[in-house]
Amino acid sequence: MLIKDTATLLKYTGVINTVKFNEMELTIDYIEKKQLLPIVGWDLYLELDKYDGNEANAENLAELREYCRKVIGPYACAAYAPKVAVQLSSAGMQRIESENAKSAFAYQEKNFIAQQVAEGDVAIETLVQYLFKYKASFQTWTDSEEFKEMSKLFIKSGAEFDRLYKTNQPWRFYWAIRFKMAEVEELSIKNAITKPLFDALKVKIAGDGELSENESALISYLKKAIVYQTLAVAIPHLNVRIDENGITIISDFGSIQGKESVKAADDNRISKLIDSCQSSAQMWLTKSVEFIAANPSSFEDWTAPAQTATTNKTGNETNTGVYAMI
């Protein structure tokens, strides 16, 4: 574990000093496995766990451990809060309260948890940016399946996605739609720019080659197409939950402070957003293909298909009122 004593616990969680490490140990272990392992992988996690300052890259490991602990702290608080409010015994579950220490109201607990999760989201995004920036210092990570999984997409983080399309919680939103983003790249982008060019760009963005100026420009267009098309196909998945109760609609926002007036969007608004995203995606994908066709010497892996772009026909000569796609 990366937090192993009460002093460190207090430093990174901000809980009051009456909380002891052994009381939160299981929660901390749970957070490390849930939030850190999918990013750093087992091998690098074990290096950090065994860190004693004598390693060859001790300075880098020490700095990385700091970023990891800043992730663990707020997430652990959020996970521990519902547990500490009650106690379980042979007499059943009871609320913990005394004359001098009253239990928080339900809305206060929800606000506290929401804020802790928000801070954890920022910390985990910062951790990802740090790892990619200094990946040369962490060969254990770059050799891991976790690195390969995080590197395979054109858009690699919530912060990068947020630069292209603003969201309230970039990190959580990015991971919620990432599986659809992979589908968009595989089923749409690859077909549009052809497999050879798609594969060549993938190799370079993974760090195995240097991008030319035109390749960088093309990728910037493709990223915008990916963002909008991912939104279009992912939106229907975001407001539903599949669990032991089946498929349910997520619509309870009013109990969180600052979201009292927030409610789920109606079908009409969702449909309009999807249509808008699909239109924007098509425009950026068309621009990408046109850019490739205009600079063939920069994209030797590309072969022009019989039909390279789709454009809107906004009128017709006979004025029949019939419009079509060409």
Average pLDDT value for residue range 6-13: 87
> Using 50, 70 and 90 to split pLDDT, how confident is the model at 95?
low
Q: Are 120 and 71 in contact (CB under 8 A)?
A: yes
Task: Lowest mean pLDDT of 58-67, 88-97, 109-118, 174-183, name the range.
Answer: 88-97
Residue 323 lies in a domain: no
Q: Is the pLDDT of residue 261 over 80?
A: no
Task: Kindly state whether residues 161 and 308 are assigned to the same domain.
Answer: yes
Average pLDDT value for residue range 162-182: 89
Task: Kindly state whether residues 218 and 309 are assigned to the same domain.
Answer: yes
Residue 326 lies in a domain: no
Task: Kindly state whether residues 185 and 133 are assigned to the same domain.
Answer: no
Residue 72 lies in a domain: yes
Highest mean predicted confidence (pLDDT) among 28-32, 173-177, 314-318:
28-32
Cα 307 to chain centroid distance, Å, stands at 35
DSSP helix/strand/coil, 163: helix
Task: Kindly state whether residues 198 and 294 are assigned to the same domain.
Answer: yes
Give the Cβ contact number of residue 165 at 10 Å: 16
**pLDDT (tens digit, 9 = 90+) per residue, 139-155?**
999 999 999 888 889 99
Say what the pLDDT of residue 18 is. 73
Segments forming the whole domain that contains residue 52: 1-150
User: Which secondary-structure segment (H or E) carries 247?
Assistant: strand 246-249
Q: Which of 150, 184, 209 is the last residue of a domain?
A: 150
**pLDDT (tens digit, 9 = 90+) per residue, 204-251?**
887 767 889 999 999 999 999 999 999 999 988 877 767 666 766 665
> Using 50, 70 and 90 to split pLDDT, how confident is the model at 17?
low
Residue 288 lies in a domain: yes
CB-facing half-sphere around the CA of 314: CA atoms within 13 A: 0
More confident residue, 94 or 204: 204
Task: Kindly state whether residues 35 and 126 are assigned to the same domain.
Answer: yes
Task: Kindly state whether residues 289 and 177 are assigned to the same domain.
Answer: yes
Task: Kindly state whether residues 295 and 260 are assigned to the same domain.
Answer: yes
Residue 324 lies in a domain: no
Task: Kindly state whether residues 298 and 274 are assigned to the same domain.
Answer: yes
Say what the pLDDT of residue 259 is. 54
Task: Kindly state whether residues 78 and 115 are assigned to the same domain.
Answer: yes
Average pLDDT value for residue range 282-294: 95
Q: Which of 113, 131, 150 is the last residue of a domain?
A: 150
pTM: 0.76
Average pLDDT value for residue range 128-134: 92
Cα 123 to chain centroid distance, Å, stands at 12
Mean pLDDT of the chain: 83
Q: Which of 104, 119, 150 is the last residue of a domain?
A: 150
Q: Is the pLDDT of residue 163 over 60?
A: yes
Q: Residues 6 or more apart from 86 whose CB is under 8 A from it? A: 93, 94, 95, 96
Average pLDDT value for residue range 146-168: 90
Say what the pLDDT of residue 187 is. 93
Say what the pLDDT of residue 51 is. 86
Say what the pLDDT of residue 126 is. 93
Average pLDDT value for residue range 314-325: 50
- Locate 175 and state its tokens: 């991971």
Residue 253 lies in a domain: yes
Give the Cβ contact number of residue 184 at 10 Å: 24
Average pLDDT value for residue range 270-280: 92
Say what the pLDDT of residue 323 is. 44
Residue 34 lies in a domain: yes
Q: How far apart are CA 177 and CA 198, in angstroms?
A: 21
Task: Kindly state whether residues 243 and 299 are assigned to the same domain.
Answer: yes
Say what the pLDDT of residue 324 is. 44
More confident residue, 184 or 54: 184
Q: CA-based diameter of the chain, in Å?
A: 84
Q: Is the pLDDT of residue 93 over 80?
A: no
What DSSP assignment string belongs to 104-128? PPHHHHHHHHHHHHHHHHHHHHHHH
What DSSP assignment string belongs to 29-58? HHHIIIIIHHHHHHHHHHHHHH--S-STTH
* Long-range CB contacts for residues 8-16, cutoff 8 Å, separation at least 24: 8/69, 12/69, 12/70, 12/72, 12/73, 13/73, 13/74, 13/76, 13/77, 14/73, 14/77, 15/77
DSSP state of 264: P
Q: How far apart are CA 4 and CA 10, in angstroms?
A: 11
Say what the pLDDT of residue 326 is. 41
Residue 322 lies in a domain: no
Q: How far apart are CA 128 and CA 42, in angstroms?
A: 16
Task: Kindly state whether residues 162 and 137 are assigned to the same domain.
Answer: no
**pLDDT (tens digit, 9 = 90+) per residue, 53-92?**
777 778 899 999 999 999 999 999 999 888 877 666 666 6
Average pLDDT value for residue range 20-43: 92
Task: Kindly state whether residues 122 and 107 are assigned to the same domain.
Answer: yes
Residue 21, classified by CB atoms within 10 Å of its CB into exposed (0-12), middle (13-18) or buried (19+), is middle
Average pLDDT value for residue range 118-122: 91
Q: Residues 6 or more apart from 61 whose CB is under 8 A from it? A: 47, 48, 51, 55
Number of domains in the chain: 2
Q: How far apart are CA 69 and CA 61, in angstroms?
A: 12
Say what the pLDDT of residue 215 is. 94
Tell me which amino acid residue 24 is. M
Average pLDDT value for residue range 128-140: 92
